[in-house]
């Protein structure tokens, strides 16, 4: 891969970081690394949302710009005797994009690679083959052959799982491929706001925030807003690209 500039390096680190709702340490540390030199003060709320403050004028209107740190992922629920892992989704998933995803399981002993599998179509009855596989019938295969082996590798129920995706600059260099754009791009924009304000005169107290637990009910947005008590807030998040095949303007107006 070609050498990445400063912005692309930040975007790679933000999107590579693994953090499902309630487990946002990795992306929080990346955001902190990039925002700390730009802020007067960096704190967290009680749930773990990152709050970077930059004062233009003390006591001025409080402006909040927030992305969210968490990404949709999975959590291990059970390990079976043959070493296969059962899991549940954390945040909203469409079952059709899950099968054959390579995943990373974050364990106390380090990361373990796996893949999401199911019963193969070859041996399904014709009616079942026409329907998407249900999430409850999927499993994660980490190449283990027994429960003992899985446990030896450090995998436990409760461990978080995220898709693995290589950060890629596409042929059109403005197009980037990675996981977790929802919503590390919002965090990147919150960082960029403070960057743009460097050395600028303004009359506000600006708060750039990376919220936790958005995907499971906007929880960090509530706690961080409660802590900051802003006069105005901008929630930066992703939408639907309306310029992909099959989408009408009525369904989605935005374009890449």
Which residues have a catalytic role annotated? 214
Question: Cα torsion for 234, 222, 45, 181, to the nearest 10°?
Answer: -50
Closer Cβ to Zn ion, 138 or 191, answer by number: 191
Shortest distance (Å) from residue 58 CB to Zn ion: 32
Burial class (CB in 10 A: 0-12, 13-18, 19+), 13: buried
Residue 29 binds Zn ion, judged by CB under 5 A: no
Residue 159 binds Zn ion, judged by CB under 5 A: no
Question: Using the rule CB under 5 A, which residue among 197, 237, 242, 252 binds Zn ion?
Answer: 237
- Name the residue with tokens 């399904």: 124
Shortest distance (Å) from residue 103 CB to Zn ion: 20
Closer Cβ to Zn ion, 149 or 237, answer by number: 237
The answer to whether 53 and 207 are in contact (CB under 8 A) is yes
Residue 70 binds Zn ion, judged by CB under 5 A: no
The answer to whether 87 and 74 are in contact (CB under 8 A) is yes
Shortest distance (Å) from residue 70 CB to Zn ion: 8
Closer Cβ to Zn ion, 140 or 191, answer by number: 191
Find the helix or strand (DSSP H, E) in which 195 lies: helix 181-196
Question: Using the rule CB under 5 A, which residue among 23, 101, 104, 183 binds Zn ion?
Answer: 183
Closer Cβ to Zn ion, 99 or 252, answer by number: 252
The answer to whether 168 and 113 are in contact (CB under 8 A) is no
* Span near Zn ion by CB under 5 A; candidates 70-78, 99-107, 191-199, 231-239: 231-239
How many amino acids of this chain bind Zn ion (CB under 5 A)? 3
Residue 181 binds Zn ion, judged by CB under 5 A: no
Question: Cα torsion for 235, 26, 102, 254, to the nearest 10°?
Answer: 20
Residue 182 binds Zn ion, judged by CB under 5 A: yes
Q: 197 in the Ramachandran plot: left (φ > 0), alpha (ψ -120 to 50) or beta?
A: alpha
Task: Say whether 9 sits in a helix, a strand or coil.
Answer: helix
User: Which residues form the interface with Zn ion (CB under 5 A)?
Assistant: 182-183, 237
């Amino acid at each position: 891969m070609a050498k990445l500039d400063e912005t692309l390096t930040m975007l790679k680190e933000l999107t590579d970081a693994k953090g499902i709702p309630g487990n946002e340490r990795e992306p929080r540390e990346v955001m902190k690394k990039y925002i700390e030199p730009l802020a007067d003060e960096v704190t967290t709320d009680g749930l773990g949302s990152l709050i970077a403050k930059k004062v233009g004028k003390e006591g001025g209107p409080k402006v909040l710009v927030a992305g969210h740190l968490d990404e949709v992922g999975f959590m291990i629920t059970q390990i079976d005797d043959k070493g296969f892992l059962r899991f549940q989704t954390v945040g909203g998933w469409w079952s059709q994009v899950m099968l054959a995803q390579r995943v990373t399981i974050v364990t106390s002993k380090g990361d373990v690679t796996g893949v999401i599998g199911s019963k193969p179509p070859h041996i399904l009855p014709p009616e079942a083959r026409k329907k998407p596989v249900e999430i409850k019938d999927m499993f994660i295969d980490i190449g283990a052959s027994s429960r003992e082996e899985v446990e030896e590798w450090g995998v436990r129920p409760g461990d978080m799982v995220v898709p693995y995706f290589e950060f890629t600059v596409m042929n059109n260099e403005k197009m980037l491929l990675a996981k977790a754009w929802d919503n590390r791009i919002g965090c990147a924009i919150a960082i960029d706001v403070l960057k743009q304000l460097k050395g600028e005169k303004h009359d506000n107290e600006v708060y750039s925030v990376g919220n936790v637990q958005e995907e499971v009910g906007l929880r960090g947005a509530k706690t961080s807003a409660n802590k900051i008590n802003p006069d105005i807030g901008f929630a930066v998040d992703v939408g639907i690209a309306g310029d992909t095949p099959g989408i009408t303007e009525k369904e989605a107006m935005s374009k890449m």
